[in-house]
Amino acid sequence: MVIITPEAEDDIQQAYRWYESKRIGLGNDFELCVESAINTIERYPEIGECAYKSVRRYRLTRFPYGLYYVVREQQIYVVAVFH
């Protein structure tokens, strides 16, 4: 199970708005890449590289962002999504 923290949700929304301001529809493309990354880490929690202590980073395709997450028992917490 993947849990997106409020801070990570804010990161996603800020990036969405920025991309959408550059080109209509680009924000949606960004969100689709985030969804794809979430699906990947849910299936393969150890796929992300170690970024700091127990925090892992999984890089998004197409966009220069990383999805930062922590695996605890049966849950994955997405703690940040940033450039």
Domain boundaries, the chain: 1-43
Q: Model's pTM, two decimal places?
A: 0.91
Question: What's the pLDDT score for residue 73?
Answer: 85
CA distance 81 to 65: 7
Dig out the tokens for 30 from the structure.
Answer: 């960004």
Q: What angle do CA 43, 45, 47 make, to 5 degrees?
A: 100
Query: pLDDT (tens digit, 0 to 9) for every residue of the chain, 83 residues total?
Result: 999 999 999 999 999 999 999 999 999 999 999 999 999 999 999 999 998 999 999 999 899 999 999 999 889 999 999 98
| Integer-rounded Cα radius of gyration of the chain | 12
Q: Are 76 and 56 in contact (CB under 8 A)?
A: no
- Which amino acid appears at position 13 of this protein? Q
